[in-house]
Amino acid sequence: QVQVLESGGDLVQAGGSLRLSCTTSELPLENHAMGWFRQAPGKEREGVTCTTGGDGNTYFADSVKGRFTISRDNAKNTLYLQMNGLKPEDTAMYYCAVKSSRFCRGLREEDEYAYWGQGTQVTVSS
């Protein structure tokens, strides 16, 4: 069973920054598409990013463009979500997910992800 582990969630003031990490020991993440999703209380889960395997091209939700960036450390088999300029509306549980394939087709394709982490809480205070 593949275990996906997220970390880095915290309580931060508006305008602050956090870096979330996602890793697994069972898969070479550079060969797989990976996504970050988030779910706020009372809301549906939404796709935040999708990063393709191989070239690492990343798609961002409009709500985070210009504030969030993705990086991948293949040596550490870890994907990072750098979140800057955080807003209270970014408050949510953030989930990392891994596909069996290396392709992204959008940000709403939750059923294409094979492996999910347990989530890490991000809370942004105003």
Q: What is the pLDDT of residues 81-106, one digit of tens each?
A: 999 999 999 999 999 999 999 999 98
According to the model, what pLDDT value does residue 106 have?
87
Rounded-to-integer distance, Cα 63 and Cα 89, Å: 10
According to the model, what pLDDT value does residue 1 have?
84
According to the model, what pLDDT value does residue 16 have?
98
CA dihedral 52, 89, 82, 27 (to 10 degrees): -40
- pLDDT above 90 (res 9): yes
For the segment 98-123, the average pLDDT, to the nearest whole number, is 94
According to the model, what pLDDT value does residue 38 have?
98
Q: Are strands 5-7 and 34-39 parallel, antiparallel or unpaired?
A: unpaired
Residue type, 94: Y
For the segment 38-65, the average pLDDT, to the nearest whole number, is 96
Q: Are strands 68-73 and 11-13 parallel, antiparallel or unpaired?
A: unpaired
